[in-house]
Structure 1
Amino acid sequence: MDESSGQSIYELLTTLWRRERESEGLVKLPEDFARRVQEYVGSVKHYLKVSDRQSLSYELKRAELEAVTSLLNELFGLRLRKILNLVLQEGSPENLFDFESRIYLNLLESVKEYRRRVRELMVSVAYRDWREIKSILVPVYFLKEHGKIVTPDRRAYGPFKPGDIAVLPPENAKILEMKDVVRVLRVLEPEHGKKGD
């Protein structure tokens, strides 16, 4: 095993950990980062498997592996805290590592769903004696510009500018809501025969 490979991965992790700790944003990880860490851990584990467990070199390699593992956990712990803050702020992250992108999007979707349900709860309390008007089409408010929409039944809607309100088929409204192009609106009316508080 190349003695310098362990040292270089340790130095790399130390540098990345220090930069991650000092930086407000996520630090860019090297493209070959995962491969280098996997190769290093694999080679050290192989070395430990074939070495004499009573030797000093075995103990040093085991301690080195523990230090690298600890640094790796601390590095990604720092990154996770930053990602969680970005999710809560609904910010646009830079320098996400490959698996972090998927996790960021999943967390962001969960937070948006949580906030949507809180808004619905607040509306349901404020308008508890009101009911939603059901319709075949869904009213939406456009947050971003969007071109013409052609539905499966060949009806055309749009184009739209930010601030436009339109009614769309439910499938189209849901897709555009997931892409943060629109916000779905609920249309309410007071229930007849109920007295207000």
Structure 2
Amino acid sequence: MRTKELIEIQRKEKVSPYLQDLGENFYQEVKELINRKYSNYSKLRDEDVSRVSLALQELENIKNIALDLYETRERKIVSNALYFVKSGEEIEYENLTKEEAEIMRRIINTLKDSRREILNFGIDRREIKTFVEERIEKKEEEENISYITVRIVRDLPAIAGIDEKVYGGFKAEDIVTLPESNARALINSSEAEEVKL
């Protein structure tokens, strides 16, 4: 790899919202480039100060470009990992170097573990499902409850209906509509009379 290539790769990575294909050994190639430049710099130490300064500046520029490129890709990797965790879609490792693929795996595993721990709230999803199913069954039962109208014979305290509603207190001669089983209990105890409508 040459410095010009690295600059072009950095430029493309910055302008694209997607990860660019760098090849499997990209970071190894960058290390080799930096090592070559450092070796050149080391050889020049005893020479002209301006040449040494120029070599050092080139070495620092390459390091900065590599760092910027890495950080740009790092942001995209974190963003992609978060997307895959939230969406549940299959994880794509396309255009990642082997080091980046490992980073992506670790981030995804950490995010998944964190979500399980933090968003658990001590409630099992099966419990919620059971609770919801029970409420639906209860609602269906309530819809199947038949009601009848009765006339109250004497003053009575409030009663709890089988539909979980509270009825009353009642005064003698009140006309009320109650769940049939509650009304029948009052009729059988001579506390109410059925009203035919």
Instruction: Give yes or no for the alignment of 1:39 onto 2:49.
Output: no
Pick aligned residue for 1:26 from 19, 32, 47: 19
Q: What is the Cα deviation at residue 105 of structure 1?
A: 0.3
1:16 aligns with: 9
Aligned counterparts of 2:24 and 2:81: Cα–Cα separation in 1? 24
**C-alpha offsets along residues 91-136 of structure 1, whole Å, 9 cap, x if unaligned?**
5342011101111001001111111123312xx2xx5xxxx7xxxx
Q: Quick check: 1:92 aligned with 2:85?
A: no
- Per the alignment, residue 82 of structure 1 pairs with 76
Cα shift readout 1:9-64 (whole Å, capped 9, x = no counterpart): 22112111111111111001044533432222222222222322652221111100
**C-alpha contact (below 8 Å) 2:82/2:108 kept by paired residues:** yes
More helix by share: 2
What's the C-alpha RMSD, in Å, of the aligned pairs?
A: 2.4
CA contact (8 A) 1:88 1:111 kept: yes
Residue in 1 aligned with 2:146? none
1:53–1:59 Cα contact (<8 Å) kept: no
Is 1:17–1:71's contact at 8 Å kept on the other side of the alignment?
yes
Q: Does 1:103 align with 2:103?
A: yes
Cα-to-partner distance string for 1:152-181 (whole Å, 9 max, x where unaligned): xxxxxxxxxxxxxxxxxxxxxxxxxxxxxx
Maintained 8 Å contact 1:20/1:79: yes
| Separation of aligned partners in 1, 2:32 and 2:103 | 24
Partner of 1:59: 53
Residues 35 and 107 from structure 1, CA distance in 2 versus in 1: closer, same or farther, beyond 3 angstroms? closer
Q: Which residue of 2 aligns with 1:119?
A: 119
Q: Give, in whole Å, the separation in 2 of the partners of 1:104 and 1:53.
A: 45
Q: How many residues get paired?
A: 123
The structure with the largest alpha-carbon Rg is 2
Q: Any unmatched runs of 5+ in structure 2?
A: 85-90, 132-197
Which ranges of structure 1 fall in alignment gaps of 5 or more residues? 1-7, 133-184, 191-197
Aligned-residue offset at 1:89: 0.6
